[in-house]
Structure 1
């Protein structure tokens, strides 16, 4: 019987020192990163299950939307014959996006990856895209593929993607190899400039960007709806998740975390 498989954590390019060597002299693929909530769809316990990033069962509003889509019956049949895979995608809901950089008018879902549970590796991006077309489900297309032959070429590619993401006002891009390696490419954020000597030590580590804080709190809201409305049960979960996210970014969590929580709670 197949079990829940969480989507692997993706590193940020700027903060993972050895990841760049994995993209040199090997095929790469680029997809736009959609500012939504991670959803997995797979066969678990003899039925098709819709999962969140960290929990086996996604929030009911996500599940209800996915099951209402006209492509879901065909996807259900496909997964019944291919029980060893998990299809991952981003779901967007009406209102502000998780990191609050944009807004959505309607529900939407876009698939972006397929993982083989045995062995534990991704389907090649181009094969995954062909599978999405075969099942006829919405997906995030590969925008560019190629090979870089040196670290300097890779740096140029990364900088171009950051500039493009800024110009298009999107969350960023995901850079993939054919196997497990993935990394997020996001625009650089200006860091706080110290105004006096007392501030200089603290500003050596930048603050976690607001959009990352909001995105993390939104994820906690979706994964723990029963705890989120109560500040006493919500804040320990939020504090731990934001601290983990800050560590990934080599940044520090905000001091006024409650105000971020209240913004999401009242939105």
Structure 2
């Protein structure tokens, strides 16, 4: 979701060049973002099909950040190139008509040719939502992670501060990560409790494969008392993924914001997911 109201009555032409979209999705029914030749459902596959129908030609998408199977996005950005022009209503409503209910486009706009959904981004922000209760959730079982062990959010938050700054995050990197470097700059991280829910909020210039889920898994080990607070600092320095604990489940992870220079006029995010926004705003 983004902050500006959407006026679908405008007749301004969008297209004949590079077009950007802002959208959200529930990732629980998809095998991740990236299209797969096996034909399994992916977010990219569904979006390409819907956009191509409205544009009346095949399109290739570039997204701000690829998400894994079961991971959600309350604010995701893509761009594609098209010779077609449509008004805002035709792009947004037309694409949504061809999408499954779990994906919803909220904005479309023409952008300059030097805009790149991935490489123009200055930061990405994720939230990991944990239901911390003795009994597993029913209603939100695909939208939150769950841990029955009592968690100390204050200790988790203190431990997380060791990750701030630019580091080699090899200890929090998936074995199959294809990034050329394990170095990332983590600008902000916070863990807060709201009743039975804990929210890990983290912002960085970019993330490695499984990085947020691996951080969440390590912090949960600290939060329930299995590991001491200083353990997070130690495993970061050790740069050894095998010593850093389990990878947290994907269900609680959301891409909630992507930052771009103001000149590109991409709408600002109102970070989600929606059911935690009243606590965090």
Q: TM-score, normalised by structure 1?
A: 0.30
Q: Which has the higher strand share?
A: 2
